[in-house]
């Protein structure tokens, strides 16, 4: 037998339905996003020299140029490989970065790294211009055949791919490890997320243009760099 709804219960349900709160509309706060991703709490976005892919394209000469990219946190979100390496070889410290065994073991790990959409857009733009694209990484080369070059070709469809340049552990006379490669490859434009990417380009000479790519907020590469601290151009929406 169906039991009738009591008057008290009916009133309670009616009141609950009448008081249902509207679903809030969530919208990103562009100011907070820029500050959080950059890792700075004082620098306002207006003080940063933001650029877009279209603006970069419009600013380039009509002729092809030589362009270089850092890899980790610039074109690939590869923190997972480095997190694994730290937990495996030197928990709680960065000593693993000095171990050749780590660089050998992590070779091929980037099949699990996430390509950045901003990198796809940049690489496509430069390939459409027939620019020469190089990759310069601070990693130390593995002792076995490196697997990073073919992975980048597969991931980004890079045409006329040059082998990745591994700067880690290479003797140099410059302050920054990527500077000799930027110089020898006659790079006109270098992209990177780290302060050392910007300063390496500056050290290579005034003819080299440096553009910052924003490091993802969940990167394990801490502390976050000071975006805009060298008055460099910064690619908008490049944390992903």
Contacts of 16 (CB under 8 A, 6+ apart): none
CA 136 to chain CA centroid, Å, is 14
Tell me whether residue 195 is one of the annotated catalytic residues: no
Nearest to 69 by CA among 130, 132, 3, 14: 132
Pairwise CA distance, residues 214 & 224, whole Å: 9
At 155, which helix (H) or strand (E)? helix 148-156
Catalytic residue among 70, 73, 188, 197: 70
Using the 8-state DSSP alphabet, how is residue 180 labeled? H
Using the 8-state DSSP alphabet, how is residue 112 labeled? G
Catalytic residue among 54, 62, 72, 237: 72
Tell me whether residue 72 is one of the annotated catalytic residues: yes
Q: How many CB atoms lie within 10 A of CB 204?
A: 24
Pairwise CA distance, residues 170 & 55, whole Å: 35
Pairwise CA distance, residues 215 & 118, whole Å: 11
Q: How many CB atoms lie within 10 A of CB 4?
A: 8
Q: Is 112 left (phi over 0), alpha (psi -120 to 50) or beta?
A: alpha
Catalytic residue numbers, as ranges: 70, 72
């Amino acid at each position: 037998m169906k039991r009738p709804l009591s008057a008290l219960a009916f009133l309670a349900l009616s009141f609950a339905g009448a008081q249902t709160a509207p679903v809030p509309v969530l919208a990103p706060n562009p100011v907070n996003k820029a500050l959080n991703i950059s890792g700075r709490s004082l620098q306002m976005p207006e003080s940063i020299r933001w650029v877009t892919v279209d603006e970069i394209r419009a600013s380039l000469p009509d002729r092809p140029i030589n362009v270089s990219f850092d890899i980790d946190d610039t074109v690939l979100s590869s923190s997972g490989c480095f997190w694994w390496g730290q937990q495996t070889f030197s928990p709680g410290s960065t000593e693993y970065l000095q171990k050749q065994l780590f660089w050998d073991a992590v070779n091929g790990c980037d099949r699990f790294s996430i390509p950045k959409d901003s990198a796809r857009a940049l690489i496509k733009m430069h390939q459409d211009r027939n620019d020469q694209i190089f990759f310069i990484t601070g990693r130390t080369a593995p002792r076995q055949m490196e697997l990073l070059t073919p992975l980048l070709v597969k991931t980004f469809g890079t045409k006329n791919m040059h082998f990745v340049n591994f700067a880690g552990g290479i003797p140099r006379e410059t302050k920054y490890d990527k500077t000799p490669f930027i110089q020898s490859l006659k790079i006109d434009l270098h992209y990177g997320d780290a302060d050392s990417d910007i300063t390496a380009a500056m050290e290579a000479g005034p003819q080299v243009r440096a553009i910052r790519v924003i490091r993802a907020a969940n990167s394990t590469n801490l502390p976050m760099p000071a975006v805009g601290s060298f008055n460099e151009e910064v690619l908008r929406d490049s944390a992903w």
